[in-house]
Structure 1
Amino acid sequence: MERIIIKGAREHNLKDIDLEIPRNRLVVITGISGSGKSSLAFDTIYAEGQRRYVESLSAYARQFLGLMEKPDVDFIEGLSPAISIDQKARSHNPRSTVGTVTEIYDYLRLLFARIGKPHCPNCGRPIERQTAQEIVDQIMSLPEGTRVQIMA
């Protein structure tokens, strides 16, 4: 599925609109105040994506989550599970990012640390773990007078 297809969206300020939104692209919703930007983004797209996700969970898991109301829309296709970030910034830290605000940053850091494969930034070869003795042997194999910088 390359796009999200919405037909007959009537949530709040939306007047029976039809649109297609490309997936895997940066999409910006703009308009004057009261034109339905939040109604489209939060009350229609996010609400339906979240509702479908929760609906796919087991009955046991659903009992702990509130099921969102179905938005006033005839048809939506191509949605993935969704998260939303409140429009009102909870953090007044200028260094906050989507990752820190949603608290996913720490999980992503762990994921990359566990499954990531470091590579040399100069030649691109994978960096393998070495024992202390292997490091000493590597240094000793260098020509005499070679400068070595050891960083820890």
Structure 2
Amino acid sequence: MSQFIEVTGAREHNLKNIDVQIPKNKLTVITGISGSGKSSLAFDTIHAEGQRRYMESFSAYARQFVGSMERPDVDKIDGLSPVVAIEQKTTNKSPRSTVGKV
């Protein structure tokens, strides 16, 4: 089993054919200036492909209710496990009060 998630040739949104290796079982932070493609890499490429692969494991009957998901614009992603994204948002006016949603 691979120790990395390997992304090769990612071209989603503003990504320009990038290759990255992200270590598994470690907390990884993707940083960069505004518009550098952090969210495109994390959500539009890695998360989208992991979710698409997970949905493909459903039966044809179950998939008809979920709908199809497009493959991200990437040459290859290896070492990817099923994925879950957590959304953080405020529930009221106080910035100290946040809720994580799966």
TM-score, normalised with respect to structure 2 = 0.87
Aligned length: 99
Q: Which 5+ residue runs of structure 1 have no aligned equivalent?
A: 103-152
Offset, 1:5: 0.5
CA RMSD of aligned residues (A): 1.7
**Larger fraction in strand:** 2
Counterpart position of 1:55? 56
**Larger fraction in helix:** 1
The CA distance in 2 between the partners of 1:66 and 1:33, in whole Å, is 32
Q: Give per-residue Cα distances to partners, 1:61-107, cap 9 Å, x unaligned.
A: 111112221000000011111122346x1534745454xx22xxxxx
Counterpart position of 2:74? 73
Runs of 4+ residues deviating >6 angstroms: none
TM-score, normalised with respect to structure 1 = 0.60
Q: Which has the higher contact order (CA 8 A, sep 6+)?
A: 2
Counterpart position of 1:37? 38
User: What is the identity percentage for the equivalent residue pairs of Structure 1 and Structure 2?
Assistant: 64
Counterpart position of 1:91? 91
Structure showing greater radius of gyration is 1
